[in-house]
Structure 1
């Protein structure tokens, strides 16, 4: 799949995560709305992280001819989502909360912020 197609697919999955994640983190926990939106959020996060693994790094150092530092956030997501799900199913609410906050801050806010660095696709799309 062409890089630009992957980018738009990625944006189609990550933009809803920005809003759903913020809503989930700021609203009451544990109810049906939280659980339902949480399933959607976790599914979209896994899809968006997996998608990024097919997108070659275009800025900065490259590892194995494909991955860049920003891909670490993809691996963080692929680890965090099932770990947070396992934690809540085990009744470990604090661990679940800690992981979900870390995931949102790391994979949505920090990684998202890095996409607006000059030379990256989003920088060119917005400021180009």
Structure 2
């Protein structure tokens, strides 16, 4: 493992990756702590703001280009932003079932699947993990 591929990337990529990795850890904490209390709400807002940052920062990352400077992954970023709003609304209206389902779906799509795509050959995280 080598951090040099990430550290030699542009600032948007560095911040995007660091916040996304931190959110992976925070997600584990959020899924293990009791739900609905003050700590859950506070950490939940940290998570939502962080995910918003990750989604928005992706628009300054254009390594893959399918439509102008954008790629298919940017559709996921737009979906993430809308999903964040919908899931916060569900929580604020005490629709726990919708909030739980929506957040699990968002974690799977925006963190797990998107994270796996960063491990494809030729991507910065692949180079970081393999020492390339």
Partner of 1:45: 51
**Counterpart of 2:78?**
75
Does residue 66 of structure 2 align to residue 62 of structure 1? yes
Decide whether the 8 Å contact of 1:76 with 1:103 is kept in 2.
Answer: no
Does 2:5 match 1:5? no
Q: How does 1:48-127 map to 2 (within 5 A)?
A: 48-58=54-64, 62-63=66-67, 65-127=68-130
**Structure 1 moving runs of 4+ over 2 Å:** none
Aligned partners of 1:102 and 1:3: how far apart in 2? 29
Q: In structure 2, which of residues 15, 18, 25 is the aligned counterpart of residue 19 of structure 1?
A: 25
RMSD of aligned Cα (Å): 1.6
Query: TM-score, length-normalised on structure 2?
Result: 0.86
Alignment coverage as a number of residue pairs: 124
Structure having greater relative contact order (Cα 8 Å, sep ≥ 6): 2
Displacement of 1:3? 5.7
Give me the TM-score of the superposition, normalised by structure 1: 0.89
2-side partners of 1:78 and 1:3: how far apart?
Answer: 25
Alpha-carbon distance in structure 2 between the residues aligned to 1:94 and 1:57: 37
Paired with 1:126 and 1:7, the residues of 2 have a C-alpha distance of 16
Kindly indicate whether the alpha-carbon contact (under 8 Å) linking 1:84 and 1:99 is maintained by their aligned counterparts in 2.
yes
